[in-house]
Amino acid sequence: MESLAFSVLYTLPEFARGVVIRRPAMVGLMARLRTYDAAQRFCMRLRVRHGGRSVYVRSLRGKVLLLLSQGDVERVLSGSDEVFSLRTKEKARGFSPSQPDSLLLSRGEARLDRHRFNDAVLQPGTVPHSLAPRVERVVSEELDGIFGREPGAVDWGRLRAGHSRAVLRLTLGDAARDDVRILDALNALRREGNWLGLRPWRNGRVRRLRRVMMTGIERHLAAAGGESLAETGEGSLGGSAETGEGSLAGLAASAPATAGTCPAGQVPHWLMALEVLGTTVFGPTLALLAGHPEHYERARAEALDPAGDRAFLRACLYEALRLWPIVPTMPRVVTAPVAWHGATLPAGTDLVIPVGLHTRNPQIDYADAFTPEAWLDGRAAADWWIVPFSAGPGRCPGSDFGGTVGAAALAALLRQYDFRPVAPRLGPGRPLPKALDPFTLRLYAAPAMR
C-alpha cells in the first residue's frame, strides 16, 4: 500500500506536471488538487512509521530508495558523484533529446573534463561573476519599459520574451538576440523529453530539432571564438571572442577543453537553466515581494542602489526556489556497492530525494514562510533539507551565474514598476501554499514614482 500511495500521490503528479519542462495546464491542475500537500503528509507518516529512516517503495521508476533521512540526503549529495551518479535511466531518457553531450549526463573522465570547462565559464563560487556588469546592462536594456508606461496587469508573455532575448545575448553574444529558433527548438526537445523515450516514432523529429538548435549554437560559438569552439579540438580554445564579447560564449573561447569536451553540447543546459527563471521563477518572486511590504521596500532600495551587491535580491530569488523548487525531485543511481546502515546498497539501486517536500519539512521553523534572510545569515546553506541547486559535487555549476542574472532582472523591474498582488495574495498572514501555478499568477504593475 505504501508503494501505491507514493505512486498516486507523488510520482504520477510529478510526471503529469512534466519532468523536463512544465506543462502549464497540468501544473495548474495539480496545484488545485493540492497533490503536494497530500504527498508531504504521506511522507511525514512514512518517516514516523519507519523511525526517520529512508524506505524502499515501488513507483513508475521501479523499486527506489526514498531518502527521508536528512543524514542520508547529506551523505548522497556530499558523496562522490561517480558513486551516486546523476545519470539515471530516467534522466538520460528525459534529457538526451536536448543535451546528450552535457555535463548533466556525463560520467567518468568525460564528466571531469566537462566539469572543468563548465566551471571555467560559469565560475561557481564567484560572486559577482566576471560578467556581472555586462549582465546588468543587457538585462536593463531588454526589460526597459517591458510592461509599458501605463498601469495595468502584468503581461508575463512580454516578460518571458524580453528575458529570452537577454538570455540569448548573455549566452551566445549580441548577434544571437533574435535567434529565437534556438530556444524554440530547445523547448520542443524538452517537451519530447517529458515522454521519457516512450514515443520512438518521433525520433526523426527529435533529430531535426536538435540539428536546428545545434546549428545555431555552433554558428554563434564559432563567431565568438573561432571554428574550433563549435567543434571539439584539442587544447585551450582560443580566439578573439570579438563577436561574443561579454557572453558565456566569449568566456568559453578561452576555457580549457579536450577532444571530448564538446563545448557546443554544454550550451543547451545553460540556455535551459537561464530561461526557466523567466518562465517559472520571476513571477513567484515578485508575487512574494508584493505581498510582503517590508521585504519589498528592502528589495527596491537595493535595486535603486547602483553600487549595491544585489545580495538581498538573490536571497529573494533563492527563497522562491526553496518554496517552489524548479527541480522538486533529485534522482540518483548507485554505480558501485555502498555500505549503508549496516547493509549494502548494490550497484543499480535507484535513489529519490523529494526536494520539494523536504524544503517544507515542519522541522524547518520557517518552512511555509517567505524568509529571504535565511539565505543571508547561513541558515539555508547549513540545512541539508534545503538544496534547490543540489549540493556537493553534483551542485549546479551555474547556480551563482543564474542568481546574478535573476537578481539583475528583479532590480530592473523594481526600478521601473511598483507591483501590487491580485491573485493569489502571498502575504505573511498565513502559511504559503505548498504548490503555486506560476502560469496564472496575477500582479498589477504601475510605473514607479521617481
Q: Which residues are annotated as a binding site for heme?
A: 396
d(CA 390, CA 330): 8
Q: Which residue bears the cell 526536494?
A: 355
Provide the sign of the torsion angle of the four alpha carbons 397, 406, 367, 21, taken in this order. negative
Phi, psi torsion values for 65, nearest 5 degrees? -95, 115
Distance between CA atoms of 257 and 265, rounded to whole angstroms?
Answer: 12
Cell 558565456 locates to: 248
Characterize the bridge pairing of strands 330-334 and 338-340.
unpaired
The neighbouring-strand residues paired with 443 are 421
Residue 313, Cβ neighbours under 10 Å: how many?
27
Distance from C-alpha of 47 to C-alpha of 81, rounded to nearest angstrom: 26
3-state secondary structure of 351: strand
Q: At what angle do helices 399-416 and 293-304 cross, to 10 degrees?
A: 100
Give the residues across from 58 on adjacent strands.
63
* Strands of 265-416, DSSP E: 330-334, 338-340, 343-345, 350-353
User: What is the C-alpha separation between 63 and 173, in angstroms, rounded?
Assistant: 45
Q: What is the dihedral of CA 357, 333, 71, 373, to 10 degrees?
A: -50
Residue 388 is given by DSSP the state B
Q: Where are the alpha helices (DSSP H) in 124-173?
A: 132-143, 156-172
Q: Which residue in 43, 44, 39, 15 sits closest to 27, CA to CA?
A: 15
Known binding residues = 396
Closest CA to 280 of 378, 187, 387, 366: 187
All three cell numbers of 387, joined, read 538544496
* Residue found under cell 558523484: 81
- Which residue do the cell numbers 529565437 mark? 180
In the chain, the N- to C-terminal Cα span, in Å, equals 61
CA distances from 134 to 13, 140, 247, 404 (A): 40, 10, 8, 11
